[in-house]
Structure 1
Amino acid sequence: MSHAPHSAHHATEGATDGVSDQAEILDLDAQVLAEHTAAVIDRLPLRAAPRHIVDLGCGTGAGTFALLERFPDAHVTAVDASAVHLQRLREKACARGLDDRVRTVQADLDAPGLPDLGSPDLVWASASLHHLADPGRALRAVRELLLTDGLLAVVELAGFPRFLPATAPEDRPGLEERCHAASDHRHAHHLPHRGADWGPMLTDAGFTVEDEHTVTVHIEGARNTAVGAYALSGLRRLRSGVADALAPEDLAALDRLLDTEGPDSLLRRDDLAVRTERTVWAARGGTRS
């Protein structure tokens, strides 16, 4: 989405002018985590195949297209604050012949009330709610939106994925964790709900949590050719937000990793992997008949 507090994704919030960079990360994220996303959808405690789905904070469509593939009779209303992300999603939908099953809505999820999104039987919110200033208000609005006994799926990562082993790079081991620590410190005030336990907030909003589980993600770079590009894009964006907070030696080491022409380039490493956790809450609610 267009700016960090309302950005519908976990991509590291560093550059305020990096909407296109963030879109690239979202596309790579969708590609690398596709199997995990499909597994999360398959486990949802649905009572029937959904016909109308709202993807709340859709980014460039990782969830939208996974849901459309899993539920061939469903239509998705994709909601995001970023016109750039929605345009990219529409282009993908057209390229895949799915434009008649997707409606895009540009909306600020922190604004009072939601726009007219119809009456969905499934709302999917992946890595979006933690960006909101008042997620409780958004959750109550979602419950008013859902059909009776409709399902809300909240999916959150335990932070942006790590790509390097703890011993890397050899001259500055632990560099990636220090970069993330600097980023977390910088954004703690702006993203107080990152890493939250959404169970109590869902209950407070009137939902009944029916399933909560955590999935460990570990994808070796050797198994997925997109991991290198994902690591490069993610760490470039991370650098833009923490460069002035790093020790000069750390910044120099990071720049050597990001230099695609240099001998220490990330893309030359054979030990890259995507490591993170995803927690999923499936909550029953809804007030519409």
Structure 2
Amino acid sequence: MFNEPVSGHTHDHIDWADRLALLRAADALDAPAQAAIAARLAEKLPVNPTVIDLGCGAGGMSTHFAQALAARSGGTIILVDATPELLHEAERAVRAAAQDHRSGGSTLTGNGRAPGPSGGQHAAAEGTTPTVEVRAVVADLADGSLPDLLPTADLVWASRVVHHLPDQQAAIGTLTAIALADGVVALSEGGLSFSCLPWDLGLGRPGLEDRLQAAQAEWFVGMREGIDGAVPMPYGWTVALERAGLADVSSFSALVDHPAPGSDGLTDYVHHHLSRLATHGADHLSDEDRATLAALLDPVSSHYLGKRRDLFLLGARTVHYGRRP
């Protein structure tokens, strides 16, 4: 560990440790999109950079950062999360990526520091092996003193975590304070909601997924309202980055596309995904829609989703980024 655990508190009152299986499944299905995002952001970085992954969750994105850095000049990845169980899994995942990458001639290390290469931006110097050092910190992104706990970084990354914090604009200011001059701050927020079900399921009223997404939106409003000290942010993410003082602000998206019939992993993910929507949207759904969901999620039901061959996953992850002047 980079430092000692300080807290497992979360401002949104969500038990994120209990969602570990869902986060792992999402990382597996997001892998192609995450790899594309990591490669695109890595192109903006100097030799032997430091990358900080704030709210790293189960660590899926940082496995791709590690691979992108190892394919270039090496560097350092610092994992940060407020939930120790997730941080432990993130370390495990990145270490596993380290083992996988060794066969390709690159080496990622754990806590042991290794000298960085001195080659060009996209490759190590001749005769050296790119090394990626991995560290971990238990910390709260809403803590204004976070810049004092972490080194400055060439890339500060936060994926779908800022919207769970009381003051989103202040949190982006904290991210910006951690970035080096000319460093990049990048947020994965928004995008296109995932779709996974056909419009007519053969039970219940057609269009269930549209109503589930509407119910999820109502739950999200309530979640934000339930955060102690929540501050509205009535503008988009690019405006928020500009207000934090970042320059060259822009966005790009990566498609997540798993056509039917998909794999066993897709079925498991859809089950977790719909279970979460059923919990979040229960108060915003009709009795008929709740009954339809219950049938889809019941392994002994004739309508159990695990028996279907028309499940799919389609959506997009959007990244908003800017450079600290």
Q: Is the 8 A contact 2:32 2:256 kept in 1?
A: no
What whole-Å deviation, never above 9, does each CA across 1:217-245 have from its counterpart, x for those lacking one? 33214344421111001111221222243
Equivalence for 2:37:
40
Give, in whole Å, the separation in 1 of the partners of 2:299 and 2:170: 44
| Structure of larger gyration radius | 2
What is aligned with 1:188? Answer: 221
Say yes or no: does 1:71 pair with 2:69: yes
Aligned counterpart for 2:292 among listed residues 250, 253, 259: 253
CA contact (8 A) 1:163 1:274 kept: yes
Q: Is the 8 A contact 1:6 1:110 kept in 2?
A: no
CA deviations on 1:158-206 (whole Å, 9 max, x unpaired) are 3652211222354321112212212211221433879962111101101
- How far does residue 94 in structure 1 lie from its aligned partner after superposition? 4.3
SS of residue paired to 2:292? helix
1:132 aligns with 2:165: yes
Determine the structure 1 residue equivalent to 2:105: none
Residue 19 of structure 2 is aligned to residue 22 of structure 1: yes
CA contact (8 A) 1:221 1:227 kept: no
Pairwise CA distance, 1:6: 5.3
Instruction: Give the root-mean-square deviation of aligned CA atoms.
Output: 2.6
Identical counterparts, % of pairs: 29
Given that 1:32 and 1:227 are in contact with CA atoms closer than 8 Å, whether structure 2 keeps it comes out as: yes
Query: TM-score with structure 2 length normalisation?
Result: 0.77
Which of 185, 195, 218 is 2:257 aligned to?
218
| Closer/same/farther in 2, CA of residues 119 and 6 from structure 1, 3 Å limit | farther
1:99 is the counterpart of 2:110: yes
Relative CO higher for 1 or 2, CA cutoff 8 Å, sep ≥ 6? 1
Q: Tell me, in whole angstroms, the C-alpha distance in 2 between the residues paired with 1:95 and 1:47.
A: 24
**Aligned: 1:118 with 2:151:** yes
| 1:80-95 correspondence runs (5 A) | 80-95=81-96
Give the conservation status (yes or no) of the 8 Å contact 2:55–2:159.
yes
User: Aligned partners of 1:194, 1:222: CA distance in 2, in Å?
Assistant: 40
SS at match of 2:309: coil
C-alpha distance in 2, partners of 1:194/1:174? 31
With over 3 angstroms needed to count, the CA separation of the structure-2 counterparts of 1:161 and 1:28, relative to structure 1, is same
**Alpha-carbon distance in structure 1 between the residues aligned to 2:286 and 2:142:** 36
How many Å separate the matches in 2 of 1:3 and 1:165? 38
Using the TM superposition, give the Cα deviation of residue 62 of structure 1 relative to its aligned residue in structure 2, in angstroms.
Answer: 1.3
Shift of residue 90 of structure 1? 2.5
* Bigger mean CA offset, 239-248 vs 75-84: 239-248
Closer, same or farther: CA 169–41 of 1 in aligned 2, 3 Å: farther
The TM-score normalised by the length of structure 1 is 0.85
> d(CA) in 2 for partners of 1:159 and 1:4?
25
Structure 2 alignment gaps of length 5 or more:
1-6, 100-108, 112-132, 226-231
Q: Please report how far the alpha carbon of residue 257 of structure 1 lies from its aligned counterpart in structure 2 after TM superposition.
A: 0.5
Work out the number of aligned pairs and report it.
Answer: 277
SS at match of 2:52: strand
The DSSP-based 3-state class of the residue aligned with 1:30 is: helix
Instruction: Out of 178-187 and 198-207, give the one that drifted further.
Output: 178-187
